[in-house]
Structure 1
Amino acid sequence: MTETVLYLTRHGQTEWNLQKRMQGHQNSALTTLGKQQAEWLKERLEGENLGAIYSSSSLRAFHTAQILRGNRTLPIQQLDELMEINMGIWEGMKTEQIEQDYPLQYARFFTSPDLYVPVSLGETYEQLEQRLIPAVECILNDNPGQKLLIVTHRMTLKVIMAHFLNKSLREIGEMPDIFSTALCKVQVIDGKSYVDLLGDTSHYRGAQNQESKIGKATC
């Protein structure tokens, strides 16, 4: 029997999360809270004997991965395929302005991913899935029997978890939100996948739970 364990998380809170700006392929720095969120998750994962760490090539994900690595000597393997969905001209815009200017597209982005079409230059969810899922499968195939960590993004992580839960793109809009550094866990045993955790935030402390209200605003 071969058992591979995949831990997945979203990056810590960023400055643009606070400003309620869409990030996508653009980037903003982790906030003090974002770094603290990563520290809390680092403590939670300290006892796990990780065989490899993968990160989106976006700096906010890579910096989160650096914190999560802790004292391990593992390299962090950065992959463009793990980046957030490309949002085109929405990137850098405040969500309030996007919702006002593009109400139908904005609503579909969150609630009907199968119907979402980017306004300009961005990706559909189908395109995201096509670049993302083969990369995740490759990570699993390259590391059989290992414990692995992937640090990625909100919508990217939803698409990954929908894949392991055998959900369609349409059903992603019905899935629970995934907050900053929330933890997902998938066991792959002899080719069959079992989801143990989906967006777990039990490592959050104190008033940190208020951040979830911010996490719903931007990607």
Structure 2
Amino acid sequence: MNLYITRHGETIWNKEGRLQGWKNSPLTEKGVMQGKMLKKAVVEYGIARVYSSPSERAALTARFAVEGLDIPIIFMEELKEMNMGDWEGRTLEEIQNEETENFENYWTDPFKFKKNTGEDFSDILNRARRAIDRITSENKDSNILIVTHGVTLKALMSFFAEGGFIEYWKTPVVKQTSISLVKFDDDNTGRIVMYGDTSHHI
């Protein structure tokens, strides 16, 4: 089995540098095009099924990716972005100025990050683990596309990274609708063989 994992297309709040979390912001024209370009990857990699966050920006990206193809989309609450509570809708600059220490912990020492009305990193990792367990149990020999979000994508990938979540969290954030690949060996061990590939954007 191969898990191809992607991030939704660009949104207005992405351009404005605002955290989205469980709130939503519409796809930009570029975001729509990114979703449509994903279709090339879906065909090339022989995707049999798509699992997607139900958040509008991810759901639309998933629908663009399989438009006109007979490929089912399964929506999973577990694939939603980390709930950022009262940080949602605010710019990174605003948060950094008002909650400097907690903002720094979020980026550099995530398990010291203190949640407000949302989730912390233990919450998102537990949720991502449930998603991986379900998807891998339902699919043994298929090529699967997962459409999710920046933090959730890192949480999902970190289960297959040698350094675990802390080290993987420090890797660059992938571009929208790039493809990361976890390949499963015969003994059902997953390993990361691609991270943030955008060759289908051409």
TM-score (norm 1): 0.87
Query: Would you say the 8 A contact 1:185–1:197 is kept in 2?
Result: yes
What whole-Å deviation, never above 9, does each CA across 1:69-104 have from its counterpart, x for those lacking one? 132222211111000111010001111111110111
Q: Which of 73, 76, 81 does residue 76 from structure 1 map onto?
A: 73
Q: Distance in 2 between matches of 1:129 and 1:166?
A: 16
Partner of 1:32: 29
- Letter paired with 1:53: V
TM-score (norm 2): 0.94
Query: Would you say the 8 A contact 2:114–2:120 is kept in 1?
Result: yes
Q: Which of 122, 132, 136 does residue 118 from structure 2 map onto?
A: 122
- Letter paired with 1:145: D
Whether 2:151 is the aligned partner of 1:145: answer no
CA shift, 1:156, in A, is 0.4
Query: Would you say the 8 A contact 1:114–1:169 is kept in 2?
Result: no
Query: Would you say the 8 A contact 2:161–2:168 is kept in 1?
Result: no
Secondary structure class of the residue paired with 2:30: helix
Secondary structure class of the residue paired with 1:92: coil
Whether 2:158 is the aligned partner of 1:162: answer yes
Partner of 1:179: 175
Q: Distance in 2 between matches of 1:57 and 1:14?
A: 15
Partner of 1:212: none
Name whichever of 28-37 and 105-114 sits farther off. Answer: 105-114
Query: Would you say the 8 A contact 1:6–1:147 is kept in 2?
Result: yes
Q: Distance in 2 between matches of 1:169 and 1:5?
A: 21
Q: Distance in 1 between matches of 2:193 and 2:168?
A: 18
Gaps of 5+ in 2: none
Query: Would you say the 8 A contact 1:113–1:169 is kept in 2?
Result: no
Partner of 1:201: 198
Q: How does 1:64-103 map to 2 (within 5 A)?
A: 64-103=61-100
Q: Distance in 1 between matches of 2:41 and 2:131?
A: 26
CA shift, 1:129, in A, is 0.5
Q: Which of 6, 10, 17 does residue 9 from structure 1 map onto?
A: 6
Name whichever of 164-173 and 87-96 sits farther off. Answer: 164-173
CA shift, 1:200, in A, is 1.5
- Letter paired with 1:75: P
Q: Distance in 2 between matches of 1:124 and 1:16?
A: 21
- Letter paired with 1:184: S
Partner of 2:46: 49
Query: Would you say the 8 A contact 2:154–2:169 is kept in 1?
Result: no
CA shift, 1:49, in A, is 2.4
Moved over 3 A (4+): none
Q: % of aligned pairs identical?
A: 34
Q: CA RMSD in A?
A: 1.4
Secondary structure class of the residue paired with 2:22: coil
CA shift, 1:45, in A, is 2.7
- Letter paired with 1:52: R
Secondary structure class of the residue paired with 2:182: strand
CA shift, 1:201, in A, is 2.0
Gaps of 5+ in 1: 206-219
What whole-Å deviation, never above 9, does each CA across 1:5-62 have from its counterpart, x for those lacking one? 1111000000111121110000011100011112222223323322211100111000
